[in-house]
Amino acid sequence: MLDKPASALRIRERLIESERLMEETGCYDGITELQLRNQDPLKFETLHTKLRAYCVSAREMARRISASPGVREVGEMVVAIYTPEGDAIALSNGIMVHVHTMSRFIKWMIRNGYEENPCIRDGDIFANNDAFIGTVQVPDVMDVVPIFHSGRLVGWAGAVCHELEAGGITPGGDVALAQERFTEGLFVCAEKVGENDEIRRDYVIRCERNLRMPIYWVLDEKAKVASCIDMRESVKALIDEIGLDYWMQVSKEFIEEGRRAQLARTRQLTVPGIYRGHTFYGHVTKGKPGYQPLGDPDWLYNIPIEMEITTDGKIIMDFEGTQPWGYHSMNCTPAGMDGGMFVTLTQHMNFEGLVNDGAWMATELKLPHGTWTNPDNEMVATATSWALLLPAYGVFQRLLSRAFVGRGFVEEAFVGQVNSPMIEMGGTSQYGKLFGMAHFECAAAGSGALAIKDGLDTAYVGWNPESDMGNIEIWEQNMPMVYIGRSIVANSGGAGKYRGGCSFVSTWLVSKTDHLRLVTSEHSSRVFDNGGMCGGYPAPTCQKHRAVRDSNIFELAEKRAPLAHHTGTNPHRSELELRLQGEHVTMEGPYITAPHKTGDVFTHSYNGGGGYGDVLERDPIKTAADVENGYLTREAAEGIFGIMLDEDEDGYPVANLETTKRHRAEMRARRLAKARPVSEWIAAERGRVEKADFAPEVKKMYASAIKLSSHFTREFSDFWNVDAKSIFMPGAKP
């Protein structure tokens, strides 16, 4: 039964030793000097680049094995190589959020005695999608294989794919309706799923019998295992070349170098100090089918973040004052929070590619126990934790960007990521078969603006830096809906000197099915969950969905009459209502209804990014081009930016610089006339605070934050000069 590794130290003891050395020396595994790097820097860098190449190549190969459009088309995959203790040495491109979550998974197995049972042997395959062990959400399924050389455990190769179907209470991967762990879908909890490089048949059977669309999951498993084996063999060949002792030392030096590089980069790009920001997220489910009455149906979360950059270059993020976990799918585990930090850092500060777990070691997250960031109950659901993670790390990006602006690296300042509303579906496919899928065109939102230019239109999400919405034809092969439109949403970027990137809206005709379930998630209701910066506005977010049941679209098509291809720019009456007859539905919050059928029309839009700088400084010429191309409406150009447009002889908009100047001067004067001193506003607002004259959800938010955080209570009380506890928790002990 026992198959102890041949090393003098057991793996668990080695892990504890490594952590002790880090604690004592402040350096990874006690590596206080980069000896091999100093001896031969060229060899050192060449080896690190080789490892990176192994990862990139293994991921690309694996994508060709996958059947999932999420992996093949959008690239929802990452692979990495780890030390025996489970620290990432090198990683591929892709969904880098999971590099550190996989590290947690490996360490969890080591800490839990996997050496003794179920044993760790050459050729074994371990899988996990349990966020409390080490992943973000149930569809993020990871596989790792140990790397043995000369009978000794010398590392791990790991791979993660985001699955498009997880077998939960609602179809798709991000199981929107899950309110507890037990409805999230198929869990694989740090399980040995294969031996001798082969996935066990009983595991495949379990997948086939518990998923709506097992082909995605099962072929992704094969893709991941193939990539792991490919990396493992490459590492073994490398060790043959450089020697085992050299490998064991150099792999640790890579990580220590990564840690030092992150600290140095922080000192190079930022300014030490305390940075603060916040965002909010609203959830509205009252009266919607399927939700169990376990908590308040409608709620508002605050997500305050305080970031400290110390003079030694360490970044510390503190979520003190945020909300408790809840009976919804948006909770996050510390593993997920780590992942969010890692993927943001790799984009903003470690863009040279030679990044590893060392970067993460140069940061610290303070996640208050009992909040959605660190639940004190492991039965909570985390299936859509990105709903809160993305807004939170969007704040982090703005805080970092404040530092870049201070230091002068304005080209790196970026207003940040936004939420990516998901659409999940299932039922009977256009081929008459059972199906389920998450539609991943959401991987192409608008980005926040930069401090020197507009944000990217339909080309960025925080969780996958290689943003890609995928081709329409590929999605149509995988779902019983056809596109009748995919359009830029005008004004969907936050306004500013530089506007946020715009989002897009898709419009579909349900086709060749009598049972299509559609569910949406990860879009905030009633509040914007992003922000602007330096005078820019937040972007408007997708809050409502529109559908037409039993539409007359086939009759219209027969008559060659105009169809609706998008929702239009009238917030009170959509293009669907203008052009189509049928039962019109407009739904706030998550879209969850009875199944759709052929002839129904459905729309889903995504989010744009926040703006940067004062709107009155926006370039009129650029704005005219934006209006011409549908990124801004003429109404917005004039009303928000003060830019007056004429038309040229062909009817195209042209900025009138003279009238714009006058109009802007008037707007600025109106702004000054309308504004009042903040001190006056605080004095007036204080009365409202004292009476707690707020919506029930707002009062509940304050009460929850006060209950969990004495720091929040003190800050609130000091700011308004009130006793926050007695206002929001009357009857509670002072």
Partner 1 sequence: MTSYSKEVIADLVAGTLPWPQTRRVMSAYKDDDRFFKYVAVLQDRVGWKDPILLPVSDHLFICQSGDERVTRCECGHSFGDYRKNWKLKASIIVRNTEETLREIYPNSDIPDPQWMEIREFICPQCGTMHEVEAAAPGYPIVHDFQPDLEGFYREWLGKPL
Question: Could you tell me the two tokens for 371?
Answer: 């909040």
Closest among 630, 628, 662, 631 to 644, alpha carbons compared: 662
Question: Could you tell me the two tokens for 40?
Answer: 């031969």
Q: Does 612 bind partner 1 (CB under 8 A)?
A: yes
In the complex with partner 1, the residue whose CB is nearer, 148 or 537, is 537
End-to-end Cα separation, the chain, in angstroms: 58
In the complex with partner 1, the residue whose CB is nearer, 29 or 320, is 320
DSSP H/E element including 51: helix 41-63
Residue 502: how many CB atoms within 10 A of its CB? 30
Q: Does 324 bind partner 1 (CB under 8 A)?
A: no
Member of 615, 627, 644, 645 binding partner 1 (CB under 8 A) = 615
Closest among 648, 606, 650, 652 to 629, alpha carbons compared: 652
In the complex with partner 1, the residue whose CB is nearer, 62 or 400, is 400
Q: Name which of residues 221 to 260 contact partner 1 (CB under 8 A).
A: none
Residue with tokens 């140990």: 146
Angle ∠(679,682,688) on CA atoms, nearest 5 = 160
In the complex with partner 1, the residue whose CB is nearer, 167 or 611, is 611
Q: Residue 422's beta-bridge partner residues?
A: 521
Residue 669 CB, nearest approach to partner 1 (Å): 7
- Helix, strand or coil for residue 601? strand
Residue 316 CB, nearest approach to partner 1 (Å): 13
Q: Does 681 bind partner 1 (CB under 8 A)?
A: yes
Distance CA(691)–CA(707), nearest Å, equals 19
DSSP H/E element including 133: helix 131-134
Member of 189, 205, 237, 410 binding partner 1 (CB under 8 A) = 410
Q: Name which of residues 28 to 87 contact partner 1 (CB under 8 A).
A: none
Residue 327 CB, nearest approach to partner 1 (Å): 20
Residue 121: how many CB atoms within 10 A of its CB? 14
Q: Residue 482's beta-bridge partner residues?
A: 509
Cα radius of gyration rounded to whole Å, the chain: 26
Member of 82, 216, 504, 528 binding partner 1 (CB under 8 A) = 528
Binding mask 128-167 for partner 1 (x = CB under 8 A): ----------------------------------------
Binding mask 530-569 for partner 1 (x = CB under 8 A): -xxxxxxxx-xxxxx------------------------x
Q: Name which of residues 419 to 458 contact partner 1 (CB under 8 A).
A: 451-453
Residue 505 CB, nearest approach to partner 1 (Å): 11
Residue with tokens 């890579």: 254
Q: Does 520 bind partner 1 (CB under 8 A)?
A: no
Provide DSSP, 627-665.
Answer: HHTTSS-HHHHHHTT---EEE-TTS-EEE-HHHHHHHHH
Q: What are phi and psi of 93, to 5 degrees?
A: -75, 180
Q: Name which of residues 336 to 355 contact partner 1 (CB under 8 A).
A: none
Q: Does 584 bind partner 1 (CB under 8 A)?
A: no
How many chain residues are in contact with partner 1, going by CB under 8 A?
Answer: 90
Closest among 435, 514, 513, 519 to 212, alpha carbons compared: 435
Q: Does 663 bind partner 1 (CB under 8 A)?
A: no
Question: Could you tell me the two tokens for 381?
Answer: 């659901």
Residue 302 CB, nearest approach to partner 1 (Å): 7
Considering only 23-31, 185-193, 243-251, 697-705, which stretch makes contact with partner 1 by CB under 8 A? 697-705
In the complex with partner 1, the residue whose CB is nearer, 117 or 570, is 570
Residue with tokens 């060709």: 64
Q: Residue 140's beta-bridge partner residues?
A: 162
Member of 287, 679, 731, 733 binding partner 1 (CB under 8 A) = 679
Residue 88 CB, nearest approach to partner 1 (Å): 24
Closest among 715, 712, 710 to 733, alpha carbons compared: 710
Q: Are 277 and 531 in contact (CB under 8 A)?
A: yes
Member of 639, 661, 662, 732 binding partner 1 (CB under 8 A) = 639
Residue 534 CB, nearest approach to partner 1 (Å): 4
Q: Name which of residues 387 to 406 contact partner 1 (CB under 8 A).
A: 402, 405-406
Q: Name which of residues 285 to 314 contact partner 1 (CB under 8 A).
A: 300, 302, 311
Q: Does 578 bind partner 1 (CB under 8 A)?
A: no
Member of 30, 118, 123, 272 binding partner 1 (CB under 8 A) = 272
Distance CA(203)–CA(195), nearest Å, equals 12
Q: Does 671 bind partner 1 (CB under 8 A)?
A: yes
Cis amide leading into 118 (omega within 30): yes
Q: Does 635 bind partner 1 (CB under 8 A)?
A: yes
Member of 36, 381, 636, 706 binding partner 1 (CB under 8 A) = 636
Distance CA(383)–CA(381), nearest Å, equals 6
Distance CA(662)–CA(612), nearest Å, equals 23
In the complex with partner 1, the residue whose CB is nearer, 246 or 694, is 694
Considering only 134-142, 438-446, 485-493, 550-558, which stretch makes contact with partner 1 by CB under 8 A? 485-493
Residue 34 CB, nearest approach to partner 1 (Å): 19
1 residue type, one letter? M
Considering only 2-10, 247-255, 477-485, 608-616, which stretch makes contact with partner 1 by CB under 8 A? 608-616
Distance CA(369)–CA(331), nearest Å, equals 12
Distance CA(614)–CA(611), nearest Å, equals 9
Q: Name which of residues 490 to 519 contact partner 1 (CB under 8 A).
A: 490-492, 495, 497-498
Q: Are 536 and 610 in contact (CB under 8 A)?
A: yes
Q: Are 495 and 612 in contact (CB under 8 A)?
A: no
DSSP H/E element including 533: none
Q: What are phi and psi of 627, to 5 degrees?
A: -65, -45
In the complex with partner 1, the residue whose CB is nearer, 569 or 659, is 569
Considering only 13-21, 34-42, 431-439, 667-675, which stretch makes contact with partner 1 by CB under 8 A? 667-675
Residue 540 CB, nearest approach to partner 1 (Å): 3
Question: Chain centroid to CA 82: how far?
Answer: 23
In the complex with partner 1, the residue whose CB is nearer, 167 or 277, is 277
Residue 661 CB, nearest approach to partner 1 (Å): 15
Q: Are 444 and 606 in contact (CB under 8 A)?
A: yes
Distance CA(554)–CA(562), nearest Å, equals 11
Considering only 43-51, 74-82, 529-537, 547-555, which stretch makes contact with partner 1 by CB under 8 A? 529-537
Q: Does 367 bind partner 1 (CB under 8 A)?
A: no
Member of 276, 286, 573, 661 binding partner 1 (CB under 8 A) = 276
- The secondary structure of 317-328, three-state, reads EECCCCCECCCC
In the complex with partner 1, the residue whose CB is nearer, 35 or 629, is 629
Residue 487 CB, nearest approach to partner 1 (Å): 13
Residue 312 CB, nearest approach to partner 1 (Å): 9
Q: Does 715 bind partner 1 (CB under 8 A)?
A: yes
Residue 709: how many CB atoms within 10 A of its CB? 21
Q: Does 594 bind partner 1 (CB under 8 A)?
A: no
Member of 171, 358, 426, 613 binding partner 1 (CB under 8 A) = 613
Residue 431: how many CB atoms within 10 A of its CB? 10
Q: Does 676 bind partner 1 (CB under 8 A)?
A: yes
